Structure 1
Amino acid sequence: MVNLHILKQSTIVHLCFAISYFTSGLILTFIQAILYFGLKPFNKSLYRKINYYLAYSFYSQLVFMSEWWSNSKLSIYIKKDEYEKFYGKEHGYLIMNHSYEIDWLMGWHFCNTIGVLGNCKAYAKKSIQYLPPIGWMWKFSEFVFLERSFEKDKETIKYQISELCDYPDPVWLLMTPEGTRYTKKKHEASLSFAKEKNLPLLKHHLTPRTRGFTTSLQFFRGKIPVIYNIQLAFEKDSKTPPTLTSLLYGKPVHAHLYIERIPVENVPVDEGEAAKWLHDLFVVKDKMQDSFFNTGDFFIESGVERRESFTVPPPIWSLVNALGWAVVTLTPMLYYLMGLLFSGKLLYFSIACAIFGAFFILLQKSIGMSKISQGSSYGTEKK
């Protein structure tokens, strides 16, 4: 009998993941490209409905690792009446802390449970759009790509938000106002900046950058009805670190996800007041994170109204999708590569080894990109 634990540790299995994921990504982005240039100019609504499933098919292969491969747990803290009435049924603007290597994946994990995974959008660096296949997927899915030049980015934000608000189905647009992942070095730089500007000193977050939020707010007000304030935390003393590597090796993590639904009309119209609102929000988020790290509970020390946690069984479609792509991609690819390996010819053998090596490097590079140590220097570079 196959030992599942050993199987999940196998480099060969991980390589099969890589072959399936990257090959399917290229197939899906090729289909996207055809539809982007051939259908979107004539029927945006139909293009976006089809693209939902293309994006879902790609993203859910990673969600599969969280939901099924590693059997990770997601404890959700939401008002139950709001969850049933609103979640997955309206456009939403997400404000989330950016503290972990897989915070984005836990967000996707949740989005999959409410049926908006294929329409998850985010702000991203413009250079990412040229990175296959994920960057191409995001480009064709109309993500908001920024150059970190305010004058250029303002026009981009205005145009892209207008486009996203025109979607026929609910869209969730993610912003991480901290701008980059939390590290000790970045936190020290953030504290220095906050002291200089007389802003709140945060213990577990970087000082939020308000300009992107206030600029976006003026364009989505009246179009996106709510802001979702999301706070993600993992136990500090967990034996399994919350990383992509842990999930790949089948090691479960336990994420705690608090979400507060805030009507946009509750946010001040004035730009300065809206910026202060965001800073005040991060003060509360910081208290929640501090409470969680001290007590294992968001609410005991934060003063935030308690919400009982619940879990949602993972939808089976991420499992079906991952297995489907494994069959579709691995069957011909492995047949072809095995033929090269055992052809008895050095050239063909070398080609097969090179292809396997390329997929392995892609896998390691992708994991490396998610590591906090490889994150952006945004916020620490000298200007």
Structure 2
Amino acid sequence: MSCTTCNNLMSTLKKSRLIHLSIGISFFVSGLLINLLQFCLFVCLRPFNVKLYRKLNYYLCYSLYCQLVFLADWWSNTKLTVYCDGDIFTKDENVLLMMNHTYEIDWLLGWIFCEKRFVLGNCKAFAKKVIRYIPIIGWCWYFAEFVFLERSFEKDKEIIATQLKEAFSYPDPVWLLLNAEGTRFTESKHEASVQFAKERGMTVLKHHLIPRTKGFTASLPTLKKYCHAIYDINLSVKKDDPVPPTIRSLLFGNSVDAYMFVRRIPMKDVPSDENEAAAWLQNLFVEKDKIQDSFHTTGDYFKTSGFKETKSFVQKRRIYPLLNVVGWLLVTVLPLIKFMFTSLIYGNWFSLTIVSILILILYVIMRKSIGMSEIRKASKYGMNNHKKD
């Protein structure tokens, strides 16, 4: 079989709804099994040995997250070019990630970076409290002790310190994501952000929303105790790229070409005073905006941003996400196919009907989940909430 024939066959398979359904079934079933294991460990092990619980939970989280990394790394051959100083890869430290929230899969591209740094199972984030009630991802994040917030500063400021202490208590390095913009970038939210900046005499940002400072400054005393550095991440996809950075693109096997500029900022360099820290965060986003503007106008992060050029490299994929997905497919989908085939042979129509209905429900859930990630369906948060900050 020629290489052209193989490529055509793979291209056909990647567009097959049946293959997509198999991947979806494997993710949902394995996710629920992982949630069940997490629950058992949470109830039976955590009260007696919290360190071992967190160590084991690392691998359960990794097994779930890297199924999505597989879609980017192996299924779609997505390319992530990283610009950063080499010493970032020699440090084992707790980190606060500060990344622009611009694309439907910015979180997944971040996970790709984390997977290559061996910290994917310990990636955490500030997240909306309601997410923890969502099966699979939400439940996984709850058992992984994410920092869940009400999006009400008066309610959140009392619990941030406790939750951060829990999040950074793991035996291995923890990377915690803070989306300081508060919500994903859209044109309508950007217009509101520009208006907010003009009314207050602030620097107008072209590629970001004005960051919300209260959550950051409230977290800072605890962050300075447990967190060693901030990794400022600028994630970019060229605006004329024919492949949009979406889950749908990855699922259909279309490779996304993404770029990432990472700067390490020691936590000790961040001011401790609340007002000074707020001003520091605002200035950080002014710098981030210059970096993004340089990329989108020149195709280079450094030409007009004023920042020193660093070396770049392409994140090479690792074998573990592939092995993990193949293993879960054998555990979840293969027995299902065998059961349905046996039911068909022996005329067990009742069981076959029930399973078919469950598969149809999973398919609908998968389509809905993909739809929820689309930018056009993003939340309205950020349209008029700046005045509350």
Q: One fold, TM greater than 0.5?
A: yes
| Alignment match, 1:44 | 50
1:339 is displaced (CA, Å) by: 4.1
Name the CA distance, whole Å, in 1 between partners of 2:89 and 2:19: 38
Which residue, out of 85, 90, 93, partners 1:85? 90
Query: 1:69-108 residue pairs with structure 2 within 5 A?
Result: 69-80=75-86, 82-86=87-91, 89-108=92-111
Specify the code of the residue in structure 1 equivalent to 2:136. Answer: P
TM-score by length of 1: 0.96
Query: 1:272-351 residue pairs with structure 2 within 5 A?
Result: 272-340=275-343, 344=347, 347-351=350-354
User: For structure 1, which segment, 352-361 or 122-131, has the greater mean C-alpha deviation from structure 2 after superposition?
Assistant: 352-361
Asked if 1:380 is matched to 2:386, the reply is: no
- SS of the residue corresponding to residue 362 of structure 2 reads helix
| Alignment match, 1:164 | 167
| Alignment match, 1:23 | 29
Asked if 1:192 is matched to 2:195, the reply is: yes
Query: 1:7-18 residue pairs with structure 2 within 5 A?
Result: 7-18=13-24
Contact 2:79 2:315 in 1 (8 A): no
Contact 1:64 1:318 in 2 (8 A): yes
Specify the code of the residue in structure 2 equivalent to 1:29. Answer: N
The C-alpha deviation readout for 1:252-304, integer Å capped at 9, x for no partner, is 01110111010011111111110111111101111111111111111111111
| Alignment match, 1:129 | 132
Identity over aligned residues, as a percent?
51
The C-alpha deviation readout for 1:219-247, integer Å capped at 9, x for no partner, is 11132110110110001111100001100
Contact 2:128 2:148 in 1 (8 A): yes
The C-alpha deviation readout for 1:283-340, integer Å capped at 9, x for no partner, is 1111111111111111111111111211232121111111111111111122223445
- Cα 1:342–1:363 shift into 2, 3 Å: farther
- SS of the residue corresponding to residue 104 of structure 2 reads coil
Contact 1:145 1:156 in 2 (8 A): no
User: For structure 1, which segment, 339-348 or 197-206, has the greater mean C-alpha deviation from structure 2 after superposition?
Assistant: 339-348
| Alignment match, 2:268 | 265
Asked if 1:254 is matched to 2:260, the reply is: no
Name the CA distance, whole Å, in 1 between partners of 2:106 and 2:125: 13
Contact 1:341 1:348 in 2 (8 A): no
Specify the code of the residue in structure 1 equivalent to 2:121. Answer: G
**What stretches of structure 1 of length at least 5 have no aligned partner?**
none
Instruction: State the Cα RMSD in Å.
Output: 1.5
Contact 2:343 2:349 in 1 (8 A): no
Contact 1:342 1:349 in 2 (8 A): no
Which residue, out of 67, 70, 84, partners 1:61? 67
Contact 1:340 1:352 in 2 (8 A): no
Name the CA distance, whole Å, in 2 between partners of 1:234 and 1:298: 12
User: For structure 1, which segment, 219-228 or 373-382, has the greater mean C-alpha deviation from structure 2 after superposition?
Assistant: 373-382
Specify the code of the residue in structure 2 equivalent to 1:160. Answer: Q
- SS of the residue corresponding to residue 234 of structure 2 reads strand
1:349 is displaced (CA, Å) by: 4.2
Name the CA distance, whole Å, in 2 between partners of 1:362 and 1:335: 23
Asked if 1:233 is matched to 2:241, the reply is: no
Contact 1:18 1:362 in 2 (8 A): no
User: For structure 1, which segment, 232-241 or 145-154, has the greater mean C-alpha deviation from structure 2 after superposition?
Assistant: 145-154
| Alignment match, 1:6 | 12
| Alignment match, 2:246 | 243
Contact 1:191 1:202 in 2 (8 A): yes
The C-alpha deviation readout for 1:113-165, integer Å capped at 9, x for no partner, is 01000000001111111111110000000011111121221122111111122
Contact 1:40 1:47 in 2 (8 A): yes
Contact 1:33 1:140 in 2 (8 A): yes
1:344 is displaced (CA, Å) by: 4.2
- SS of the residue corresponding to residue 225 of structure 2 reads coil
**What stretches of structure 2 of length at least 5 have no aligned partner?**
none
- Cα 1:341–1:133 shift into 2, 3 Å: farther
Specify the code of the residue in structure 2 equivalent to 1:12. Answer: L
Query: 1:215-234 residue pairs with structure 2 within 5 A?
Result: 215-234=218-237
User: For structure 1, which segment, 11-20 or 296-305, has the greater mean C-alpha deviation from structure 2 after superposition?
Assistant: 296-305
Name the CA distance, whole Å, in 1 between partners of 2:136 and 2:157: 27
- SS of the residue corresponding to residue 263 of structure 2 reads strand
Name the CA distance, whole Å, in 1 between partners of 2:259 and 2:246: 15
